[in-house]
A and B are shown apart, each in its own frame.
Chain A
Amino acid sequence: MKEKTISQLSIGLAAKEFSSKELTQMFLERIKKFNPLLNAFITVTNDVALVQAQAADRRRQQGLAGPLTGIPIAQKDIFCTNGVRTSCGSRMLDCFIAPYNATVVEKLNAVGMVMLGKTNMDEFAMGSSNENSFYGPVKNPWDLDTVPGGSSGGSAAAVAAWLAPAATATDTGGSIRQPAALCGLTGIKPTYGLVSRWGMIAYASSLDQGGPLAHTAEDCAFLLSAMAGFDPRDSTSIDRPIPDYVNTIKQPLEGLRIGLPKEYFSDGLDNAVAHTVEIAIDQYQKLGARIREISLPNSHLAIPAYYVIAPAECSSNLARFDGVRYGHRCNSPKDLLDLYTRSRTQGFGDEVKRRILVGTFALSAGYYDAYYLKAQQIRRLISDDFQRAFEYIDVIAGPTSPTVAFNLGERVDDPIKMYLSDMYTIAVNLAGLPGLSLPVGFVGKHPVGLQLIGNYFTEGRLLNVAHRYQQVTDWHARVPNEFT
């Protein structure tokens, strides 16, 4: 049962080699054994998991099982789970039991998946190293001295260490792809609007998008097929049929036009990472792809624009955490202002406060035009860059992150350096495009990720492009030594 992908586990369950209950128990035991080392889970839902596993086994007996029925999964603690603590990595929600399920949770429950627990994350998804969690940092299973990336660091570490075969995650500026890269996983951030945001605690609403983190593109295809789809409860959800991404995954890559943005291979990119990525590109050439250089001239504006838009939206999104109706409330407030001030001062961590302040400033009277409006204009330019590129290429490829996993504590005092971890991923969120990261090698013991970016709704193509690579390589099948 161990170290098997979802598609393999699915075959095992179908062949009755093992039951969902046995599978679930195995993962729960691994979590018990390894989580203290990694801190990947905030909450482990043993009871829920076993109830769901038994239900899945019954469903299989009744002949009603689908490919994901009985497969365990870890949920990022940003998704509301009815009756289960949903902390979003924050002291603010340390005691918050969500009264309803996120659509993603509802959909995965509906196909019979089993929730193992809620994974650690940067507080309110703000961070690139998982060091901004109220529950402490998560460690990278490939090197316990390094970070797993963020904000979905808990999900990535859990999957990389085989504490779960897959996990849900969210991506506002790279929070699925960068941890996938740093932990040697495959993760996809879908087109904005493909996966419902209902019940996904908002950080920056116009950028947030949920998606899966798993070992293989094929597993991501299974999961995305179940997670995606129109949701009338989310006004930004897109009403279009969702294909079965597994069906199209095997297409050959002959004639695929891959573009390499020259801006993604310049200053700031680690040489060893660059070299690893180049080898992967060569592999694609062997698979029949045609490679050419392209330009995304406004790439350098992505981080500045993001760090206006995301904080602006978050300053408003996080206003509801006021200590009035739920969440952290300070002791014996002496008046309303004191209630607000102390509850929020105590409830939020430093990075969250930093972004709230930046965003509040950016939206203030007299600054709106210079910051927020300007950032939105840049966003359009960035989006236009991509559209011009997609006129003559199919997929953009490049490094997911400029470096491999960095040491814990290395960048905590240097927010700008931390923000640069996402220099290749952020533009994708600003444009609302789908982006995927897959493992393409190592630098020392640290995994390297390749990012694939497609035009809107080309998730099927991205998964196909990643899958074909994984048929001829085994980077995705490597297991960190301490967790075999």
Chain B
Amino acid sequence: MELETIIGLEIHAQLTTKTKIFSSTSNCYGAEPNTQACVIDLGMPGVLPVLNQETVRMAVMFGLAINAEIASRSVFARKNYFYPDLPKGYQISQYELPLVRDGQMIIELEDGSRKAIGITRAHLEEDAGKSLHEDFQGLSGIDLNRAGTPLLEIVSEPDLRSSKEAISYMRKIHQMVVYLAICDGNMQNGSFRCDANVSLRCAGDQRFGTRVEIKNLNSFRFVERAIEFEVERQTNILKSGSRVIQETRMYDAYKCETRSMRSKEEAEDYRYFPDPDLLPLLLDECFISAVRADLPELPDAKKQRFMTQYSLSSYDAGMLTSSCALGNYYETVVAELGGNPKLCANWLMGDFSAFLNKENREITDSPVTPYQIASLLRRVQDQTISGKIAKDVLEALWFGEGNVEADSIIEERGLRQIIDTSAIGEAIEIVIESNPEQLAQYRSGKGKLFGFFIGQVMKILSGKANPQQVNKLLEEKLKE
């Protein structure tokens, strides 16, 4: 019996508005508990919600970016359930009539082929507060700072067939919301999180199997592991002839397993109904066009353009457009350098990225400006310095103070590359004369010693010689 995995994701992206979705309280993360909650967020008697229009603009941006239909009329509904961190006893969400419908996201599979993943809907809703179960001696603490934070819930079709596809899709959504600057994408803080619906069916079946929902996965790795665990668990159940129970499960990151939270029988009846405190949300074509006109260049389009405009490989273009900020940085470097996009790509994806990773910095707070990088690459390009020396200069730029150009470091430290053939020739002479033994061995066939000679020559020239030139001259000399 061959089983097919069916996955659908519900992604929650917190929107980066200044204020909450239904109140004018600040939407910043990380304040002292319950300091960012006004009477509305606290669900005091008599309070009323007023929709933050900025959330609508953001949701429409997303809808347009995934080629979805934007509803000219959508309705906020109440999802009723009791929980201590849900102040009103209901969550304001959208139910029957969401703002965004029928979009899609193209993902790239491992074999390089492309696949369209349907996006059933994306709707606006408010986040709940947080229950804190530690540090209260058997009691629970409630922090309502998060209550009322705007969320965009993005629901995919059950189009994903493996954990790899799920991750690839999730990364694309993540990239998109960050590109659009509607979500900070910070998964550790819960700004971007996901529920996964997983089921299996016999290959070829039209009907879906019983699904299990895994709640609150807040890293790509957890999503991957939780799905893989769940697929294996369900496979074992089905292979043993049993049936999967429809239920909600949670993922335990320590034990790398999913555990049952509640079964279908215990599932809540949310008693959705249109929220009488909010009017239906009506959008006209004019508003939608204005948002469309304001859309930034989207990741896929940017990648395509990089491939044509800069003759980059799909891989390079993909890497450089993985974030909007990196793409912009790259383009500034290329423009400043006046060409040589491949050189720029190699440096940004190589040493520069390595520095960012090592220092755990975002490109937006890189200490080195694209203009400095261009000043460095200019000297690599005209062979004033070698690639190896350039790495040292980059390091100097990275840790140096102020906005210095590469040239001043090169001059200051005398790193200018030696391209004077006679100076290199002299050094080769010295090396050959002082290492007769190695010379004999080399000539008797021990070709590996070539590297030794290069090293010695470079040593004499303090590493500033052009490596290709040294190679060439040494090769000639040794053949004599």
Contacts and interface: CB of A to CB of B under 8 A. Distances in A.
B45 A201 contact: yes
Given A80-B45, A96-B45, A363-B80, A235 B90 contact: no
Interface in A50-100: 79-80, 86, 88, 93, 96, 98-100
A364 interface: yes
Contacts of A200: 46
Interface string A439-471: 000000000000000000000000000000000
A90 to B, nearest CB: 10
Interface stretch (A151-159, A254-262, A322-330): A322-330
Interface residues of A, number: 44
Nearest to B80: A316
Nearest to B268: A365
B31 interface: no
B385 interface: no
Nearest to B273: A363
Contacts of A205: 276-277
A316 B44 contact: no
Interface string A157-199: 0000000000000000000000000000000000000000111
B44 A326 contact: yes
Contacts of A390: none
A477 B357 CA distance: 84
Interface stretch (B81-89, B208-216, B460-468): B81-89
Contact of A319 (B42, B47, B88, B276): B88
A200 B48 CA distance: 9
A340 B82 contact: yes
Contacts of A363: 80, 271-273
Nearest to B270: A365
Interface string A324-351: 1110000000001000100000000000
B365 interface: no
Contacts of A368: 271-273
B146 to A, nearest CB: 15
B48 A235 contact: yes
Interface in B38-93: 39, 42-51, 78, 80, 82, 84, 87-90
B256 interface: no
B278 interface: yes
Interface string B261-275: 000000001011100
A102 B47 CA distance: 9
Most chain B CB atoms below 10 A, which of A93, A206, A320, A364? A320
Given A206-B276, A325-B87, A319 B80 contact: yes
B216 to A, nearest CB: 19
A368 B96 CA distance: 13
A205 B277 CA distance: 6
Contacts of B43: 320, 325
A333 B258 CA distance: 31
Most chain A CB atoms below 10 A, which of B45, B84, B89, B269? B45
A206 B279 CA distance: 10
B376 to A, nearest CB: 54
Interface SS of chain A? loop
A315 B272 CA distance: 12
Contact of B48 (A96, A234, A315, A316): A234
A86 B46 CA distance: 10
A99 B44 contact: yes
A365 B277 CA distance: 22
A352 B272 CA distance: 21
B478 interface: no
Interface in A258-287: none
A233 interface: yes
A380 B93 CA distance: 25
A298 B48 CA distance: 32
Interface in B1-59: 39, 42-51
B78 A316 contact: yes
Given A316-B271, A325-B87, A100 B82 contact: no
Given A79-B46, A320-B89, 7 more contacts: A86-B46, A88-B45, A199-B47, A315-B80, A319-B82, A325-B142, A365-B271
Interface of A: 79-80, 86, 88, 93, 96, 98-100, 102, 197-202, 204-206, 232-236, 312-313, 315-316, 318-322, 324-326, 336, 340, 360, 363-365, 368, 372
25 contacts: A86-B45, A86-B46, A100-B44, A198-B46, A198-B47, A199-B46, A199-B47, A204-B276, A205-B276, A206-B276, A232-B50, A234-B48, A235-B48, A235-B277, A235-B279, A236-B48, A313-B273, A313-B276, A316-B78, A316-B273, A320-B88, A322-B82, A340-B82, A363-B80, A365-B269
Interface of B: 39, 42-51, 78, 80, 82, 84, 87-90, 142, 269, 271-273, 276-279
